[in-house]
Amino acid sequence: MESAYRPLFTVKFFHEFYKNQLGEYTHLDEDISIVPTEKCRREMAKQGLLFRSTSGGFTVLYTAYKEDNVEKPLVPLTDPRQFSFQLFSKSPYIIHYSSLPLDGKKPGIYYLNNLQNNTQEIDGEDELLLVEDTVEPYLSSQDEFMLRPAHFSYGFKKAADTATLSIEDRKGNAIYSKLLNKLDDGEVAAEKNFSANLDLTPFGTGLFIAKVDGVEQQKFYLDGTLIAQKPFGLIDIFYHSDVPATYQFADAQGNVSAKTYTVRIDCRETIWKYLVGLKYRKDLDPTDLEVVSNIVSATFTRQNSYKLADNTTVIPFDSGNTTIPLKKEPIKGIKLKRTIAGQGGGGGGGNTSTEETSLPNPEITNIKTDNGKIYSEVYIYL
């Protein structure tokens, strides 16, 4: 009997930060390393599956044999399975250049799975996305959840003397429910403090929902080991009846229909601010300087100048309310333009001329927030 390894499912990552002007995605392995959890390794070993890293993702292979010219798994896929993969960030600045919350949940995790039923058309082809957002195809705050250990204290406020705290699993089954009395802590405000010590050890790992009097308060992922390992994210690939048909990599009889799932991350867009310091050219007039571009649609506006402690005049130029994407491949065509007054004699001012100097893109490390806006700053000294 001949056998060979065949793909069972594949996960691919694409980050818009690395999409160049030709529309190609470069540096596919720059951001994230992917590792099966220990439990997943054991599950795959039982099932005769292999994990293989690929360019920009990973694939899981099964041993196939032919029967009546039909390829089937050598080890039948019968029982429900859950395959979990940890995502570790290779860059400490991945949040800076990704369109994700700068002040994420702590401890938190981006959680992805194949229960989404979120097929979207990307560049003319349908993709099986693992993210929650059904409008945009990108990883977002909707995919971020608190990480909690099996033992934890859950506190909340409510304008009442009693409240019922309940915990539900992903399917909406209540695994915990208790009527709580307000804490006797001397609180005199309308909203009272409540707290409960929980032990969810018997319920394993996974996604759970905390509710107060039936109203959802928080979704969280339960796994104490992940808190210590501090992964960027986790992917759960399920094989059971709850998986939407289009996302099923095998039917109820175990016949394989290999799937490719996609995770897309958008690049961050920021207001670009060029800070031009007249450190050596103190003779220059700020009104003779402009920041111009024939590439980006932003208009850079000169703001009020100010002086540093060493008497250097700083002239800020920013893109106003127009945000510009951060990219691995620099955006060219942004220049510092200087108007030079003419030196003609005979009482005339002469013709003016201009000189232009190309300006760099902001560093991804230099991100600042102000009044809800996100800025990327570039310092230039003349």
- What is residue 260's three-state secondary structure? strand
Measured between alpha carbons, how far is 275 from 318 in angstroms, rounded to an integer?
9
Q: What is the pLDDT of residue 350?
A: 63
Phi, psi of 273 (to 5 degrees): -125, 120
Q: Is the pLDDT of residue 171 over 60?
A: yes
- 132 close to 255: Cβ distance less than 8 angstroms: no
The end-to-end CA distance of the chain, in Å, is 75
**Which residues lie below 8 Å from residue 361, measured CB to CB, with a gap of 6+?**
326, 327, 330, 331, 334, 378
Q: What is the pLDDT of residue 375?
A: 96
Given pLDDT bands bounded at 50, 70 and 90, which one contains residue 254?
confident
Peptide bond into 107 cis (omega under 30): yes
**Which residues lie below 8 Å from residue 1, measured CB to CB, with a gap of 6+?**
65, 66
Question: pLDDT digits over 235-252, tens only?
Answer: 999 999 899 999 999 988
- 91 close to 34: Cβ distance less than 8 angstroms: no
Q: What is the pLDDT of residue 2?
A: 67
Residue 268 DSSP class: P
- 330 close to 299: Cβ distance less than 8 angstroms: no
For the chain, give the longest Cα–Cα distance. Answer: 100
Q: What is the pLDDT of residue 1?
A: 57
Stretch 305-327: mean pLDDT? 94
Q: Is the pLDDT of residue 130 over 90?
A: yes
Q: What is the pLDDT of residue 174?
A: 95
Nearest of 354, 359, 377, 381 to residue 278 by alpha carbon: 381
CA angle 257, 260, 266 (to 5 degrees): 160
Please, what's the b/e burial string for 169-205 (b: 16 or more CB within 10 A of its CB; e: otherwise)? beeeeeebeeebebeeeeeeeeebebebebebeeeeb
Given pLDDT bands bounded at 50, 70 and 90, which one contains residue 344?
low
Q: What is the pLDDT of residue 195?
A: 95
- What is residue 280's three-state secondary structure? coil
Indicate the average pLDDT of the chain.
Answer: 91
Please, what's the b/e burial string for 20-32 (b: 16 or more CB within 10 A of its CB; e: otherwise)? eeeeebeebeebb
Question: pLDDT digits over 61-101, tens only?
Answer: 999 988 777 778 888 887 888 999 999 999 999 999 999 99
Q: What is the pLDDT of residue 140?
A: 96
CA angle 76, 80, 85 (to 5 degrees): 100
- What is residue 224's three-state secondary structure? helix
Helix H, strand E, coil C: the string for 299-359 is CCEECCCEECCCCCEEEEEECCCCCEECCCCCCCCEEEEEEECCCCCCCCCCCCEEEEEEC
**What percent of the chain clears pLDDT 70, i.e. is strictly above it?**
97
Q: What is the pTM of this model?
A: 0.89
Question: pLDDT digits over 2-53, tens only?
Answer: 678 999 999 999 999 999 989 999 998 899 999 999 999 999 999 999 999 9
Measured between alpha carbons, how far is 96 from 367 in angstroms, rounded to an integer?
7
- 166 close to 135: Cβ distance less than 8 angstroms: no
Measured between alpha carbons, how far is 70 from 21 in angstroms, rounded to an integer?
43
- Which range among 127-131, 169-173, 183-187 shows the weakest confidence by mean pLDDT? 183-187
Q: Is the pLDDT of residue 348 over 70?
A: no
According to DSSP, the β-strands at 353-358 and 301-302 are: unpaired
Higher pLDDT, 340 or 195: 195
Stretch 373-381: mean pLDDT? 94
